[in-house]
Amino acid sequence: MHSPFGLEGKRILILGGGLGIGESTVRLIAEHGAHVAVVDRELERAQHVAGEIGGGAKAYCIDVLDDEALVAGIAQIEREFGPLDGMATVIGMAAWGSLIEIDMATWDLDQNRNLRYFFLAAREVARSMIDRKVAGSIVCVSSVNGIRSAPNHGAYGAAKAGLINLVQTMATEWSPFGIRVNVVAPGPIITPRIPHTGEEGERKMMVNVPMHRRGTTEDIAKAITFFLSDLSPYVTGQTLAVDGGSLATNPFIPLAEGHIPSA
């Protein structure tokens, strides 16, 4: 039976594919038949993930904060791995501190590792697709903190908000070439950097989230896969919040605890 995902044989680049959300995305799209170029700043992590997937995956190491290395790395991937049909980027990190205290080097770092590298990578992939006259899909990971305020990590929030606006412009400019660009905005997610804190800790942490739990890296991978796949052929320039309902809450009305199903 033909898969509705339409990923069989597609060549997809995942920047940040060696860990967490990126690793889950690599595994999921590979299950649906995609060939995956797994990029990580640590080659061993990328090799581990690619090795477990098998022949349809290849590992690469690229420093996405180095403009020349990023452009050259994408060109190398297209030469060795093959011309790309899609890309997802999951790299990002927040520096913590108030806006009053933040120094400009930290501000610039958060813009570079959350926003700037995505612009450069997406432009390179889009240029290739346009030159080859092929359609494709590009996905980035923002955050609910790019939609609402981001107290004590304002540089990160500003960069993630920039991603949402940038994607809307990319979608507008590149749609005539058949290139779709979309955003996944995670809410509270259990990741290797922010692990599970135990049942009591999680309960207290998620008291204001309607689903009363944190999401998983697989939850975000499913949303990325949706945008990469043929399940979203008429969707571009959109931001999908995967946040357990946290953006829907009213801060003045407490949530009822109720009975929370396991999934």
Residue 145 CA: distances (Å) to CA of 79, 149, 186: 37, 6, 9
Look up residue 7 and give its two tokens: 């990923």
Compute, in degrees rounded to 10, the torsion defined by CA atoms 58, 63, 69, 70: 70
Confidence of residue 68 (pLDDT cuts 50, 70, 90): very high
Whether residue 160 contacts residue 114, with contact meaning beta carbons closer than 8 Å, is answered with yes
Distance CA 61, CA 40 (A): 5
* Active-site entry in 60, 117, 156, 234: 156
Q: pLDDT tens across 188-216, in order?
A: 888 877 767 677 677 777 788 888 888 89
Indicate the fold that domain 11-243 takes in CATH. Answer: Rossmann fold (3.40.50)
Tell me what pLDDT residue 167 has: 98
In sequence order, the β-bridge partners of residue 141 are 184
Distance CA 115, CA 134 (A): 25
Instruction: Inform me whether the pLDDT recorded for 261 exceeds 90.
Output: no
Please report the DSSP string for 51-92 in residue order. HHH-TTEEEEE--TTSHHHHHHHHHHHHHHT---SEEEE---
Annotation marks residue 156 as catalytic:
yes
Tell me what pLDDT residue 71 has: 98
Provide φ and ψ at 110, rounded to 5°.
-65, -35
Instruction: Inform me whether the pLDDT recorded for 132 exceeds 90.
Output: yes
Confidence of residue 259 (pLDDT cuts 50, 70, 90): low
Instruction: Inform me whether the pLDDT recorded for 174 exceeds 90.
Output: yes
